[in-house]
């Protein structure tokens, strides 16, 4: 996911990877605290939430940070309210058939 975030920030080098990684993890924790139970790095909505969160919080002179944070909060609300994201994943246990 970090490469995708770097591209969204238009950063080509790895100099800021530690800061970006911290922001990715902070976003996932914030989503979790807000009731999002299924956080899959390959899910397009989760990826967009993370990109928006990082764009809101990356860098010192971020004049668009407030705009991105409002967008992130809207995505987070939708994810937290959606049944596809706010229920614990069910683990399916397959029992062996009798006589096998």
* 56 found inside a domain: yes
Which residue segment(s) compose the domain that 48 sits in?
A: 2-81
Model confidence at 28: pLDDT above 90? yes
Whole-structure pTM value: 0.84
**Residue 89 forms part of a structural domain:** no
Q: Is residue 46 part of a domain?
A: yes
- Considering its fold, how many domains does the chain have in total? 1
Which tens digit of pLDDT belongs to each residue from 10-23? Answer: 999 999 999 999 99
Q: Is residue 28 in a domain? A: yes
DSSP labels, the chain: -HHHHHHHHT--SSTTHHHHHHHHHHHHHHHHHTT-----TT-HHHHHHHHHHHHHHSSSS-TTHHHHHHHHHHHHHHHHH-TTTSSPPPPP-PPPPTT-
Residue with the bigger pLDDT between 64 and 88: it is 64
């Amino acid at each position: 996911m970090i490469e995708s975030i770097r591209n969204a920030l238009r950063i080509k080098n790895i100099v800021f990877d530690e800061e970006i990684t911290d922001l990715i993890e902070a976003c996932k924790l914030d989503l979790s605290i807000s009731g999002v139970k299924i956080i899959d790095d390959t899910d397009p909505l989760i990826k967009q939430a993370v990109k928006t969160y990082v764009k809101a919080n990356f860098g010192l002179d971020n004049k668009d940070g407030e705009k991105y944070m409002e967008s992130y909060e809207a995505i987070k609300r939708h994810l937290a309210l959606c049944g596809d994201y706010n229920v614990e994943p069910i683990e399916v246990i397959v029992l062996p058939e009798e006589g096998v």
